[in-house]
Each structure stands twice: as structure tokens, then as C-alpha cells.
Amino acid sequence: MIPNSKKTSKRLRERLVDARDGFLTGDELAQLERDVKAHNPRLWEDHLWMVKQAQKGIFSRFSDLREEQPAEGAISRFHARRQAEGGTQADLEFLVWSWFRRYVLTVGILLIVLFTGLQMGSTEETAGDTRDQMARILGGEQESIPELNHWLYEDL
């Protein structure tokens, strides 16, 4: 008995497609039939139906659909539309835009990231300077700041 798993089901379906394409020997096909029936008998029924339909049933109508052609003059209409929509000029615009997108935008984003990083660094420096200045104004002693805080916030 084959364990009922997704992986087994996938493998069996793959093999059934090989079988429909005629890539299996008689022994391989018999083994596959046993495996499939043990796993999920419906798969085998569907396989038989597909084989039958491919030979002379509805699936064989795909060959009719394959013979269908686009309406007459479709290619000339396409060329006319291409010319009307700019042709070579549109190609050039597209090329310039894709170049712009690829290089200019990437460089732009990198510059913005770099600039923001520098700005953050300088803000930190400024904050450091401000702390030093505060300390100087308040008497230069770091220890006095907790006292000052206590004095400032005691009413809250």
C-alpha cells in the first residue's frame, strides 16, 4: 500500500502523463496501474478517460483549434498600429525610461540613504554638543544634573 501523501499523488500524476504520452513499457504501465489503484482509483479512471478522449474523443478536437488562423491582414494591422503608436520613437522612449529606471533611480535612492545616514550622524553630534553646553551652563558637573532633575520635576 502506497502511503497517501501529496508527494505520492504528485509522482503518480506525473507518471500517468508519461503513460498517456506512451513513454512507459508494458511492465511499467502494469505497475503504475497497481500503484495508482492502491492510492486513488479515481486517478486511474480519469487516466483511461483521457487516453480515450485523446485518441478519438473531445481532446482530439484540440487539433482543430490548432488550425485556426488570425483574421486576414492581422499582421499588417499590427504594423500599422505600431507605426501609429510611435514605432521607433516609442522604442527609444522605452529604452531611455528603462535606462533611467535602472541607473538613475538606483543611484538616487542610494544617495538619499547616504544623505539620511549623514544627517542622523550630525544630529547625534549636535545633541552631544548641546549636552556639553548644558552641563557647562549648569555648573559643569555631571553629578548636579540628577539634582536639577529632582528640583525641576518635584512638583509633578
Partner 1 sequence: MRPTPLTEHDLDRQLPEFYPRIYRMVRAMVYGSGLDPEDLTQDSFLKVYKKRHMYNGTSSLYTWTYQIARNTVLDALRRNKLQRRIFFWTESETQPDEFSANETGDQTLDRREQQQMLRKALARLSEKDKLIITMRDLEGMSYDEIAEIENLAPGTVKSRLFTARQRLKEELVRMGMDPGSD
Catalog residues that contact partner 1 under the rule CB under 8 A. 9-11, 13-14, 16-18, 46-47, 49-50, 52-53, 56-59, 61-62, 64-66, 68-71, 74-75, 77-78, 81-82, 85, 88, 90-91, 94-95, 98
Least Å from the CB of residue 96 to partner 1:
11
Alpha-carbon distance of 110 to 6, in angstroms, equals 46
Select 18 or 132, whichever has its Cβ closest to partner 1: 18
Nearer to partner 1, 11 or 135 (CB): 11
Phi and psi at residue 95, to the nearest 5°:
-65, -45
**C-beta closer to partner 1: residue 81 or 131:** 81
* In the complex, minimum distance from the CB of residue 23 to partner 1, in angstroms, rounded to a whole number: 11
Minimal distance, residue 34 CB to partner 1, in Å: 18
CA angle 13, 14, 16 (to 5 degrees): 60
In angstroms, what is the minimal distance from the CB of 68 to partner 1? Answer: 6
In terms of CB distance, is 27 or 85 closer to partner 1? 85
Query: Least distance (Å) from partner 1 to the CB of residue 83?
Result: 11
Write the Ramachandran bin of 72: left for phi over 0, alpha for psi from -120 to 50, otherwise beta: beta
From the list 2, 4, 16, the residue with the least C-alpha distance to 45 is 16
For residue 15, the tally of other CB atoms under 10 A from its CB is: 19
Of 37, 45, 24, nearest to 53 by C-alpha is 45
**Among residues 90 and 112, whose Cβ is nearest to partner 1?**
90
Backbone angles phi, psi at 135, to 5 degrees: -65, -40
